[in-house]
Every structure is written in C-alpha cells, then in structure tokens.
C-alpha cells in the first residue's frame, strides 16, 4: 500500500496524498462517505434478499399456523438464545474494533477483531450442533423430511424455511469471518490510522447487518406460539 | 467521550455508550424469551416483531452509527419501506383472496370452446393442435 502511495506521489507532484487516499477522491472524508454509501446500498439489497424469504415465511405461517407451531418445538430455544447473545457480543466487539481504529489504537483493534472472529466461530459451532441434531432426526426441508411420529402434518414446510433462512444467514456469517480476517491482516500490517479506517467501518456495517437479521430470525424460528 | 479524531466530520461514540447498548440488547433478548411465554392471542408475532425492531433500531442507530449519518439512514429506511410494501401488499392479497378468482375456479374455463383442457392448443385459433383450421 505504501509503495502505491509513493508511486502516486511521483506521478502527481503538485499535491501530496495522505496514505490510504485513492487519487480519484478529493479528500479522506469524500472517499469514506463514498465507500459508506456503496456499502449501505449493498446492505439494502441484502435486506431485500432476506425480505423475500421473510415474506414467504409470513405467507406459509399464516396459511399453516398449526404446522409451524408444531414444527418449532423441534428447535431448542436455549441454543437459539445462546446464539443471539453470542452474535450481540460479536457486534459489540466489532464496534469496539471500529472505535479502536477511529482512535488509532492498533493493538486494541487487532484484539477486538480477533475476539469478533472467535465469537463468530462459536456461533457457527452452535449452529453445527443444531444442524447435526436436525439431520439425525430427519427434520429436513421439503421432500427430504423423514421425521417419524408426527401428529400435525405439513411440518416439512417450516424446515424448508428454517434451513433456507438460517443457512443463508450462516453463509453470511462465514463470509463475515473471511472479511474480518482480511481486515485483521491489514490492521496487523499497519494500514489503518485515525485518519484512514474506512475498511474497518465498512466490514463493521456488514457484520452488524448479519446481527440485525438474526435478531428477527430468532423469535420467528424459535419462539412461535 | 469527547475524544475527536483529526477528521472531525465523524462523531466518535465511546466504549461506555457501546457497553450500555450491549446491556440493553441482552436485556431485550431476555424480554423476547419471556414474552414468548405469555399468550397475547393473535398479537404474539406482533409483540415479537416489535421487540426485535427495538433491538434492530439500537443496532442500526448506535453500532451502525446511523444517528450521526442522516444520509445513509434515509437510504436504509427507503430499503425498509420497499420491504414493507413487498410484505404488506402480499399479505393483503393472501388474506383477501376469494375462490371466485378465475385462477381458483374448479370448473374448466370456457375461454376456448371446443379445446379440451390439458391438451396443447394452437394459440392463433384456440383450437386443438392437429385439428383442421376453423372455417
């Protein structure tokens, strides 16, 4: 990154660029605001992507309430609540990482980012325990549903939504881990300062959206009545 | 925290505020679980969504800095608005659908007299494929 900046300096002798500023932006604030707007537009498309699944869930739940209530008893709300707390904690450590970046504290930034990654992995671990339990019991989506001894028919519909929604969310968590690892690597290389921390903030926004979606998934999946 | 970075375009919220928000979020999670134990009749889902929305607002306003970021707040709320249109109009359709709609009729539609259903028809004439063209 510093090599690139040096090249830019020799190309444009008329004005010096602060480190981290791409030369097509006027200043750091403009670059930061442009990147943030781009991220927010992406987050809106993410909301609408999950929105389609939420609308489908709403339709099927309103048409088959008995099947959904019966099916949700197969989920353990304690594990769901545990995962909610884990994800809220990871959102907190992420925002503390952004704060450390804003105040130029490199060591704290790396520590908070690593904590966030660990919490994300705990989340995926709990998810793994839940999924393997479902696979074992045959609580699978659509035609793969093979659970025995149901008294209420149509429970496969709930598990179609359960696996699509928590699965898509899980993929987002995995991608989030990759993104935070990338940020941690850049922080370790010393790329960020109180003047330049845009990527930390952007990845933070993504991570908070993943948390935001889970906040809605938890009551809709685990706490139906 | 009155600790401002060199770039004073961005307000910096400190660990104290973030800790309070985290505490509020955890308390609200406990309330979500407790509320699920009570029966509010057909308001159960509404109560759950309401508490989730309070939690979501805290995350968006504080963790995602939207309270100092009016422009992106408008972008995000517009996205939520379109999600609301999507959800509410679909539920209107689902809850007001009656069996008199042509697509729900149990009787064969008489739009193409002479053409048996479930057999391919020639779109230009409405007659079954292979039949001689209409006189």
B52 and B89 assigned to the same domain: no
State pLDDT tens for residues A36-61.
999 999 999 999 999 999 999 998 89
Question: Across the interface, do A37 and B71 touch by the CB < 8 Å criterion?
Answer: yes
CA A10, distance to chain mean position in Å, is 40
Structure token digits, residue A192? 């960020």
Residue B89 lies in a domain: yes
Residue-level pLDDT at A87: 97
B50 and B15 assigned to the same domain: yes
Question: Across the interface, do B26 and A212 touch by the CB < 8 Å criterion?
Answer: no
Question: How much is the average pLDDT of A215-224?
Answer: 94
Residue-level pLDDT at B93: 84
Q: Long-range contacts made by residues A28-33, C-beta under 8 angstroms, separation at least 24?
A: A28/A195, A28/A196, A28/B7, A29/B7, A29/B9, A31/A198, A32/A198, A32/A201, A32/B7, A32/B9, A32/B10, A33/B71
Number of domains chain B contains = 2
- For chain A, the domains span 31-222
B59 and B85 assigned to the same domain: no
State pLDDT tens for residues A125-145.
999 999 999 999 999 988 888
Enclosing domain of residue B35: 1-68
Task: Enumerate residue ranges in chain B where pLDDT < 50.
Answer: 1-8, 100, 112-115
Query: Taking a C-beta distance cutoff of 8 angstroms, is the pair A19, A5 a contact?
Result: yes
Chain A neighbors of B79, CB-CB under 8 A: 43-44, 47-48
Question: Across the interface, do B9 and A29 touch by the CB < 8 Å criterion?
Answer: yes
ipTM for the assembly: 0.87
B15 and B48 assigned to the same domain: yes
Residue B74 lies in a domain: yes
The yes/no answer on whether domain A31-222 falls in CATH 1.20.272.10 is no
State pLDDT tens for residues A81-113.
999 999 999 999 999 999 999 999 999 999 999
Residue-level pLDDT at A152: 86
B7 and B52 assigned to the same domain: yes
> What pLDDT band is residue A16 in, cutting at 50, 70 and 90?
low
Kindly identify which residue of chain B lies nearest to residue A37, measuring between CA atoms. B72
B1 and B22 assigned to the same domain: yes
B4 and B35 assigned to the same domain: yes
Structure token digits, residue A190? 């010393």
B11 and B64 assigned to the same domain: yes
Residue-level pLDDT at A148: 87
pTM of the predicted model, to two decimals?
0.82
Residue B131 lies in a domain: no
- Minimal Cα–Cα distance from A145 to chain B, Å? 26
Q: Does A41 touch chain B (CB under 8 A)?
A: yes
> What pLDDT band is residue A224 in, cutting at 50, 70 and 90?
confident
Q: What residues pair up with B121 in beta bridges, in sequence order?
A: B128
Residue-level pLDDT at A6: 47
B63 and B87 assigned to the same domain: no
- Minimal Cα–Cα distance from A219 to chain B, Å? 6
B63 and B18 assigned to the same domain: yes
B62 and B86 assigned to the same domain: no
B64 and B4 assigned to the same domain: yes
């Amino acid at each position: 990154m510093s090599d690139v900046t040096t090249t830019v300096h020799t190309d444009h002798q008329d004005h010096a660029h602060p480190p981290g500023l791409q030369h097509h932006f006027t200043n750091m604030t403009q670059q930061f605001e442009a990147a943030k707007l781009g991220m927010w537009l992406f987050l809106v498309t993410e909301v609408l992507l999950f929105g389609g699944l939420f609308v489908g869930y709403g339709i099927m739940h309103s048409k088959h309430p008995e099947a959904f209530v019966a099916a949700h008893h197969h989920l353990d709300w304690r594990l769901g609540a545990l995962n909610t707390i884990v994800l809220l904690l990871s959102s907190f450590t992420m925002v503390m990482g952004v704060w450390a970046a804003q105040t130029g504290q490199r060591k704290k930034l790396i520590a908070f980012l690593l904590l966030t990654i660990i919490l994300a992995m705990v989340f995926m671990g709990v998810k793994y325990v839940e999924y393997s339990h479902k696979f074992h019991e045959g609580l699978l989506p659509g035609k793969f549903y093979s659970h025995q001894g149901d008294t209420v028919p149509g429970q496969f519909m709930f598990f179609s939504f359960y696996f699509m929604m928590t699965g898509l969310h899980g993929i987002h968590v995995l991608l989030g881990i990759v993104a935070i690892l990338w940020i941690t690597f850049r922080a370790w290389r010393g790329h960020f300062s109180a003047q330049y921390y845009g990527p930390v903030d952007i990845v933070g926004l993504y991570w908070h959206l993943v948390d935001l979606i889970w906040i809605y998934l938890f009551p809709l999946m685990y706490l139906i009545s | 925290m009155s600790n401002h970075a060199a770039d004073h375009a961005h307000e910096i919220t400190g660990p104290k505020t973030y800790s309070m928000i985290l505490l509020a979020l955890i308390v609200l999670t406990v309330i979500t679980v407790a509320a699920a134990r009570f029966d509010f009749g057909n308001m159960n889902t509404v109560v759950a969504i309401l508490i989730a929305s309070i939690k979501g607002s805290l995350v968006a306003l504080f963790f995602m800095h939207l309270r100092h970021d009016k422009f992106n707040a408008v972008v995000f709320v517009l996205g939520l608005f379109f999600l609301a249109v999507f959800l509410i109009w679909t539920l209107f359709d689902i809850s007001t659908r009656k069996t008199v709609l042509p697509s729900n009729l149990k009787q064969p539609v008489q739009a193409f007299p002479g053409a048996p259903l479930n057999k391919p028809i020639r779109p230009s004439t409405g007659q079954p494929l292979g039949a001689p063209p209409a006189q």
